[in-house]
Amino acid sequence: MERTRLVVVDDEVLVLQDLKETLEGLGYLVAGTAGDGRSGVNMARQLQPDAVIMDIRMPDMDGIEAASILTEEHVAPVILVSGLSEKSLIQRAQEAGVVAYITKPYRPADLSPAIEVGIARFREFQELRRENEDIKETLETRKLVDRAKGILMTTQGLSEAEAFRKVQKMSMDTRRPMKDIANAIIITYEASADDKGKK
């Protein structure tokens, strides 16, 4: 079985080393470490780990800001490990999309459940996002095809079924998606309508 790959970010070298050793002892593969939020973000973008574990208070960019970027870019789930437990920080962490928040001092046994649940939740979100994008794409295609059908029915006197088959055939003949064909029909029609309007 492939080991879960992690990036660990903390500005305190000893804490970073200890966390790395603890995680490796739990069977994780620490693919990279960084000492500040910005480096952590760049490393995560490059290595595409299964999860990123980071501290909050760090120079250059704090852990919450870094988590917000990684969540927005769908790079990896972020688990924060911090000695701070102020309400305002927890609120910011939630808004940034952090999947787990562990307070120091932590027990090694606290890490695995947070990592595993965090990765599972992140994957669920990714799947939902993909499904939403597919639905949006399908609706967009349907709207364009309906419009293109209307144009063909008006300009070529075709029935709705004939207009649909024509778009479908053009799509198969050119090996291009129906959305592209519909778009081309609409653009061509609008361009010719503009030309007629100018005459």
What own/partner pairs with CB < 8 Å and gap ≥ 24 does 92-99 have? Answer: 92/64, 93/56, 93/64, 93/67, 95/68, 96/64, 96/65, 96/67, 96/68, 96/71, 97/67, 97/68, 97/71, 97/72, 98/64, 98/67, 98/71
pLDDT in tens, 75-112: 999 999 888 777 888 888 888 888 988 888 888 888 99
Between 197 and 111, name the one with better pLDDT. Answer: 111
Q: How would residue 3 be classed by pLDDT, with cut points 50, 70 and 90?
A: confident
5-106 and 131-198 share one CATH topology? Answer: no
Q: Which CATH architecture has domain 5-106?
A: 3-Layer(aba) Sandwich (3.40)
Residue extents of the structural domains in the chain: 5-106, 131-198
CATH of domain 131-198: 1.10.10.10
Provide, rounded to the nearest whole percent, the portion of the chain with pLDDT above 90: 63
Res 88: pLDDT = 83
Provide, rounded to the nearest whole percent, the portion of the chain with pLDDT above 70: 96
Res 147: pLDDT = 93
